[in-house]
């Protein structure tokens, strides 16, 4: 730690480190009190300011802010409050006969001082979500939100400063250097949400202190539509999932894999839905968000240019306005296989369609890429659905829907390999921030004591007997 005394966050870290046992040993009621205070802040005191900040940062429509930020956070808190008592309880486990005279249980204890680094696309939800788990598990936490959404980050600071003392929860604003400084401190757990590229930097930094990590990352989430799917309802759900928040969602359908013989019909259905959702001029629609920064706009614009160069056929959209950070909902088909839209995570309102002949072709395509955060299946065929589930891997899957698995607090949320390590939400979030301490209590004489040195032939026989019978 001595090399860290010049770190700008050293004093804050030490304050939380010194306070960690007071926080973790606080009764169940104290955790509930903190969760309730956060709930009041989000649901009542700062509700309107949150929607204003999101409108300024992302042009996020109020309905989407209510649904994907406020509802999610409040829902998470309510769920944690309902189940915390059960989660915190010691969990009895069986003890083998060879350990006769002992009993065993798991104690869920706080990991200690935690670091939460969050992204910009759902700034409140993806910052306070992990914080709810951290508090539930009895930790202290330092939060570093994204610099891309300054209004939201400033408001989150105000909320955190109002609700918590900095010895238990503190929020520091800043850019990459702030993360870099924080990552030098020996946190007990790091919860990171962001891109796979930065996820690797986080994991390397965590390795210096062997801090445990939860990495909630991104990637290309495929949406597979087979010839048996109800194309009308599939189009509705997919267009909603893809273009909400202007496509800036980690689990939005990144691209479609459509069975060749239904491609044209599916595209027609999608076009009709887009007109119904956002009118013939989505730029004027109050239901459609904007790209977060000019830099992100330029990245997406270059993907569109690359699509043109790679034979892309624009079925819808491809209209942009730099000054307004506007990119129309766009559907593109016929891309050459080297098109960047089929290589990098899109994270914007562009939906490429790729066709396949057989379900095995679709599986081979998915498996030729990194393991995704989500994989969506639209099919009435049980056989196809089972095959897709059996021969692919993904963090989560919806069958005949998308995105909604995120909202079920009873399911673990997270990726696999390139799309993430570890799980969050509800009980799984509580576990991510808990040390599962293994405890054995010896009540009476234990059989193992018969095998203590000095060893003898008799003890060897007894050991062999134990191996055979217990």
Active-site residue set: 216, 250
Packing angle of the helix pair 71-88, 125-136 (nearest 10 deg):
10
45 sits in the region (left: phi over 0; alpha: psi -120 to 50; else beta) called alpha
Residue reference for tokens 């919806």: 398
Whose CA is closest to 106, among 98, 116, 94?
A: 94
Residues that bind ligand NAD (CB under 6 A): 117-121, 126, 144, 146-147, 176, 179-180, 193-195, 198, 201, 216-218, 250, 345, 347, 373, 415, 420
Which lies closer to ligand NAD via its Cβ, residue 205 or residue 231?
205
**Nearest-approach distance from CB 297 to ligand NAD, in angstroms:** 13
Which lies closer to ligand NAD via its Cβ, residue 109 or residue 147?
147
138's tokens: 């009895």
Q: Residue 128 contacts by C-beta under 8 Å, 6 or more apart in sequence?
A: 38, 42, 73, 76, 156
Whose CA is closest to 245, among 54, 26, 72?
A: 54
Decide if 244 contacts 440 (C-beta within 8 A): no
Which lies closer to ligand NAD via its Cβ, residue 175 or residue 386?
175
Helix (H) or strand (E) holding 104: strand 102-110
Which lies closer to ligand NAD via its Cβ, residue 307 or residue 416?
416
263's tokens: 């491609």
**Nearest-approach distance from CB 115 to ligand NAD, in angstroms:** 10
For 392, the 3-state DSSP assignment is coil
**Nearest-approach distance from CB 310 to ligand NAD, in angstroms:** 22
**Nearest-approach distance from CB 262 to ligand NAD, in angstroms:** 28
Q: Residue 64 contacts by C-beta under 8 Å, 6 or more apart in sequence?
A: 244, 245, 289
CB nearest ligand NAD: which residue?
218
Which lies closer to ligand NAD via its Cβ, residue 31 or residue 144?
144
Whose CA is closest to 376, among 395, 354, 352?
A: 395
**Nearest-approach distance from CB 269 to ligand NAD, in angstroms:** 27
């Amino acid at each position: 730690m001595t090399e860290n005394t010049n770190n700008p966050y050293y004093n804050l870290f030490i304050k939380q480190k010194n306070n960690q046992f007071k926080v973790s040993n606080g009764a169940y009621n104290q955790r509930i009190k903190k969760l309730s205070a956060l709930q009041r802040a989000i649901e009542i005191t700062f509700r309107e300011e949150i929607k204003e900040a999101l409108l300024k940062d992302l042009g996020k429509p109020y309905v989407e802010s209510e649904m994907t930020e406020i509802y999610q956070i409040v829902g998470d808190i309510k769920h944690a409050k309902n189940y915390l008592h059960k989660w915190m309880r010691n969990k009895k486990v069986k003890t083998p006969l060879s350990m006769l005279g002992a009993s065993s249980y798991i104690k869920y204890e706080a990991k200690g001082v935690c670091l939460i680094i969050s992204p910009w696309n759902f700034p409140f939800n993806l910052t306070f979500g992990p914080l709810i788990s951290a508090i539930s598990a009895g930790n202290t936490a330092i939060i570093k939100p994204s610099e891309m959404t300054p209004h939201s980050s400033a408001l989150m600071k105000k909320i955190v400063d109002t609700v918590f003392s900095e010895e238990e929860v503190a929020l520091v604003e800043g850019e990459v250097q702030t993360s870099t400084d924080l990552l030098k401190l020996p946190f007990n757990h790091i919860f990171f949400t962001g891109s796979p590229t930065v996820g690797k930097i986080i994991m390397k930094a965590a390795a210096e202190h062997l801090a445990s990590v939860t990495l909630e990352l991104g990637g290309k989430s495929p949406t597979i539509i087979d010839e048996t799917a109800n194309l009308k309802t599939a189009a509705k759900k997919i267009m909603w999932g893809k273009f909400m928040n202007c496509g800036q969602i980690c689990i939005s359908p990144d691209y479609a894999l459509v069975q060749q013989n239904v491609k044209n019909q599916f595209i027609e259905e999608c076009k009709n839905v887009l007109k119904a959702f956002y009118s013939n001029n989505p730029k004027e629609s109050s239901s459609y968000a904007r790209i977060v920064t000019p830099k992100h706009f330029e990245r997406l614009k270059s993907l569109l240019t690359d699509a043109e160069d790679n034979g892309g056929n624009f079925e819808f959209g491809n209209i942009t306005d730099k000054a307004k950070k506007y990119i129309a909902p766009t559907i593109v088909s016929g891309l050459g296989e080297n098109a960047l839209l089929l290589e990098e995570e899109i994270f914007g309102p562009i939906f490429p369609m790729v066709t396949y002949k057989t379900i095995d072709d679709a599986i081979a395509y998915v498996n030729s890429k990194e393991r995704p955060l989500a994989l969506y299946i639209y099919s009435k065929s049980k056989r196809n659905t089972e095959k897709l589930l059996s021969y692919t891997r993904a963090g989560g899957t919806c069958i005949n829907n998308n995105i909604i698995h995120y909202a079920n607090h009873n399911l673990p949320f997270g990726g696999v390999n390139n799309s993430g390590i570890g799980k969050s939400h509800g009980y799984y979030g509580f576990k991510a921030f808990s040390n599962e301490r293994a405890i054995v209590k010896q009540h009476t004489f234990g059989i193992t004591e018969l095998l203590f040195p000095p060893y003898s032939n008799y003890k060897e026989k007894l050991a062999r007997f134990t191996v055979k019978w217990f």
